[in-house]
Structure 1
Amino acid sequence: MPGLNLRRPLGMGTAASVTVVVLAAGPAWAGYGDGGATNGGTHTSGDAGEDGTVSATAGGIVYDHSKNGSGNNAGAPAPVGNWSPPACWYAPKYTPKQFKKYKEKIWEVDSTSPQWDFEERRRYVNGGPYKNFNLAKSGKGYWWDSYSASNYPPGWDKCSKPPFWVDKGDPPPADTPEAVTPEILAQLAYAEIRLPDTRLELNPEGGTKVNLPTWAWLDNAAFRPVSVTASVPALNIQATTTAEPVSLRIEPGTDDAQTYPASGECRIEDGRIGQPYTKGHAKTDPPCGVKYLRSSGDGTYPLKATITWKIHWTGTGTGGGGLPDGHFGTTQDITVGEIQAINR
């Protein structure tokens, strides 16, 4: 069969972009190939070798982070509701030659029971149902196996089906709902997204006064859509998950405060959240901001700013769809002083 490129340097990825490559449903199964290129800023899932490279099996997922969020305080979105990315999934993992080497190494060390070895050989070597690791079908398909999320979340061991063969152009068996699809890749890319720090620009900065409206806004350059692409090169499929900022929620850190607008929810207008203060607007309420009604005394108030990000995906052979919105926020300490009266 055509050779698979199985070795990629470690450290190719950057934490700055999220592109997800996923399998396509329906007719897209016929498009499986023997590999595929990805954009720059990628990393491959796999096992690290002693020479500092990753040995990727046939179905290793490649993530392109070149358009992801960045910065020392960037972080993952907190999904709205009770949702989490897949804990496990099935995807191509071995060519026939790789699978033979993998299994025979296990049998050689005598770490399993004779009965287990007998059943394994019967299944994969002696025709029950596969013969000689399907070496005769090299280049015509892959051995599929389970993968699990690296942090082993609940359900990571749910994909317990033994390795199975899938011919190129054929869908995986109907009894494997966890088989990788564009949607599953998009969800895995969601977990790779990193969002920029939500620290507000304020006027006055460095502290404010009681009953003085404080204008708040976000740096436009920092709050642009971010995305990650995940792909399975062996299947020539991919999916991209994109997060776009839609609103900012301000929580003053005390009940003795008033937000602008009253809901505390600052929407995006004209491509920006909030508006910088400009001279001549001292008597104008800010479109996004806060007014403290009581001094913070010797302490500070924890002003929390949380961005809501709308998250959606597209993938090979499909228009994609929506994923749960994500929240990401930052808290900054605000000193509020009394306005000093001046006796003349």
Structure 2
Amino acid sequence: MPALKRGLTAATMVVATGTLLPVLLIPGLARADDTLDGDTQNPPPTGPKGDVDGDTISAGAGAVVFERSKNGSGESAGPIASTTSTWKPPACYYAPKYSPAQLQEHLESIWAVDSTGYEWDAKQRDHYVEGNPYTDFNKDKAGKGYWWSSYVSEGRGGEPGALDCDADTFWVDTGAPPPADIPEAITPEMLAQLAYAEILVPSTKVTLAPEGTTKVNLPTWAWLDAAEFKPVSVTASVPVLGVEATTVAEPVSLKIEPGTADATTYPASGVCTINGDNSIGEAYAAGKSDETPPCGVKYLRSSGDDSYKLRATITWKIHWTGTGVNEPVDLPDGEFGAEQDVVVQEIQAVNR
């Protein structure tokens, strides 16, 4: 029988690195205001929230909602990228989408215009109405479960993986796990991966001394202040199931790439570790000109009429906790970097 496909937009998520945890379905529900039947997800900036009002499922604008109050912010903030190149987000997943009344409204609106053809419509009626295997959209189970269907991750609709979730919309009783043959069914671990994709971290533009313009063979100090550099987190949840996961990103190191091979980095690896106060490197102060910076760079050749593109990349350690998972579980590290111009001039000698 043709699969009932409906590619809705959801947040990007990341492929699990281990065995997926079983979905934990909890009968208790929180409150929400938006109906879970739209064609796109635009999660609110705060949450989570979700409820069932009569025969209407509500959970933000989609199955998964996000709480971002502890996320990075500001114009310079950006998303982190996994340091594991083979670790990619799946393009689709399954989660609750319809109550019995909502599925009836959705399908009957399609059948009414005969947009899919009589034969397909007849098979769908047989499947969801006539008892093979469902009867009357399971309206006798209203409030006792949900119709689950596929969601396509945000920005992934054109990828081949978006078609992997091609199973017919299926029913799951409250408190029961989804069918074992549906590996893409939402889990706390998948929620953690969804939250990973929502994390924003601050700019990696480092403070330099000298600032902007430096001299050949003069050590240039680099640092990031603790006040601008702290852990961030996002919580993803499916309120109608009572499951959630919080993903935390913590800065661990700064990598300096001078933008030219004619340079020496401090330390030699170019990787500056984080200090106990969450700062990186050490601020330059008067009287330190003869010292070697704990984090920085020394250019060996002038940049001429141009500038070098110094790239500063922060590595973030990622872990999560959530429903049924109290001890932090690691996810692949993330990176976020940016370039800044550094002009390097020759030291001018004056002969008298």
Taking structure 1 as the reference length, what is the TM-score of the superposition? 0.85
Aligned to 1:299: 306
Aligned to 1:8: none
Indicate whether 1:209 and 2:215 are aligned: yes
Aligned to 1:158: 164
1:143 positional shift: 0.4
8 Å CA contact 1:57, 1:94 repeated in 2: no
Matches within 5 A, 1:89-100: 89-100=93-104
Q: Sequence identity, in percent?
A: 59
Could you list the per-position Cα deviations for residues 246-272 of structure 1 after superposition, in whole angstroms to 9, with x for gaps in the alignment? 000001011111000001000112222
The structure with higher relative contact order (CA 8 Å, sep 6+) is 1
Indicate whether 1:73 and 2:81 are aligned: no
1:78 positional shift: 1.4
Work out the CA distance in 2 between the residues paired with 1:154 and 1:247: 36
Aligned to 1:228: 234
Taking structure 2 as the reference length, what is the TM-score of the superposition? 0.83
Work out the CA distance in 2 between the residues paired with 1:151 and 1:248: 30
Work out the CA distance in 1 between the residues paired with 2:219 and 2:186: 52
State the secondary structure of the residue aligned to 2:24: helix
Work out the CA distance in 1 between the residues paired with 2:272 and 2:32: 41
Matches within 5 A, 1:163-202: 163-202=169-208
8 Å CA contact 2:204, 2:313 repeated in 1: yes
State the secondary structure of the residue aligned to 1:103: helix
The one-letter amino acid paired with 2:28 is: G
1:76 positional shift: 1.2
1:195 positional shift: 1.4
State the secondary structure of the residue aligned to 1:290: strand
8 Å CA contact 1:58, 1:93 repeated in 2: no
Matches within 5 A, 1:1-344: 25-26=21-22, 28-29=24-25, 31-36=26-31, 41-42=45-46, 60-81=63-84, 82-152=86-156, 153-270=159-276, 271-319=278-326, 320-344=328-352
1:85 positional shift: 2.1
**Aligned residues, how many?**
311
1:88/1:95 CA distance change after superposition, 3 Å: same
Aligned to 1:13: none
Work out the CA distance in 1 between the residues paired with 2:246 and 2:22: 19
8 Å CA contact 1:261, 1:288 repeated in 2: yes
1:27 positional shift: 8.3
Q: What is the alpha-carbon root mean square deviation over aligned residues?
A: 2.3
In the alignment, structure 2 segments of 5+ residues that lack a partner are 1-19, 34-43, 50-57
8 Å CA contact 2:23, 2:186 repeated in 1: no
The one-letter amino acid paired with 1:274 is: G
Could you list the per-position Cα deviations for residues 18-68 of structure 1 after superposition, in whole angstroms to 9, with x for gaps in the alignment? xxxxxx955832x13344579x832789xxxxxxxxx85896211111111
State the secondary structure of the residue aligned to 2:226: coil
8 Å CA contact 1:36, 1:236 repeated in 2: no
> Following superposition, which runs of at least 4 residues in structure 1 exceed 4 angstroms of deviation?
24-27, 55-59
The one-letter amino acid paired with 2:128 is: Y
